[in-house]
Structure 1
């Protein structure tokens, strides 16, 4: 699911039906993460490379590597 904003598009997982998820925005070498329940609250900012490493680690763990 995508939500427009002036800075980009916030995205959440398709399986996020109840709205209790995180949302992610990719913009200018950074990844921002926020709570979908509080979209006007603070967002965490990560360097794009650090976020990619985190996602890769999660994928490898879910595959049992």
Structure 2
């Protein structure tokens, strides 16, 4: 298994956001300002459900 430091992390353009990486059947999330901090792990299905909810506006106004 790769460590979080060996993964390819994808982030927004300004660097003040979360970063996302894929590891096997998991999606990893971390704070771009704290690369050595906590890493959240989600199944691919959990991540896809979250992305769909965002697209449908589920979190608008939070």
- Relative to the length of structure 2, the TM-score reads 0.77
Q: Which runs of 5+ in 1 are unaligned?
A: none
Q: Which runs of 4+ in 1 moved over 4 A?
A: none
Alignment match, 2:49: 53
Task: State the Cα deviation string for residues 9-44 of structure 1 (Å, max 9, x = none).
Answer: 10012xx31x21000001101000000000011100
Considering fraction of residues, name the structure with more strand. 1
2:24 to 17, 28, 34: 28
Q: Which runs of 5+ in 2 are unaligned?
A: none
Alignment match, 1:10: 9
Looking at structure 2, the residues matched to 43 and 27 of structure 1 have their Cα atoms a distance apart, in angstroms, of: 12
Count of equivalent residues: 54
- Relative to the length of structure 1, the TM-score reads 0.74
